[in-house]
Amino acid sequence: MLLFGLAGAALILASSWVGHVAREDRKRWLNLPLALVLVPTMAFCWAFAFSMYEPEVPDRRAATGFAWAVLGMGALPVLVFYTVGYLLPRKWILVLVWVVAVVPFALYAFIGWVAVADYVACTEDAHECPL
């Protein structure tokens, strides 16, 4: 569990830092460094959700879980923190925002992954599932 927390903290720091560097280099908001953070994160989230997938889960429910994993747990945090890093003018403000955002992001990630697990690993009538 600690490893996932550290990975999440590193992810939001990396996203913010890449956004800040893009601003300092006067690059447009949508650029290659953003894609280099975004695409692997989305792929990892899909793979992590797939590792929990149970074939008995209805297709529509599983698709919702995979969409939430890729978009809500992968793309959304990267885009939000990249944008924060892009908009903040000073590095010390960026670090301060990161320190403040780590705990709320950890709560978001925990609740989000529980929801993903519920969608991809639990049938609708399962009693042992988290939600």
Global confidence as pTM: 0.89
Mean pLDDT of all residues in 73-85: 95
Percent of the chain having pLDDT more than 70?
A: 98
Percent over 90 (pLDDT), the chain:
75
- At residue 122, the pLDDT reads 86
pLDDT digits (tens, 9 = 90+) for 28-61: 889 999 999 999 999 999 999 999 999 999 999 9
Residue 126 phi/psi, 5° resolution?
A: -75, 135
Report whether 122 contacts 57 (CB < 8 A): yes
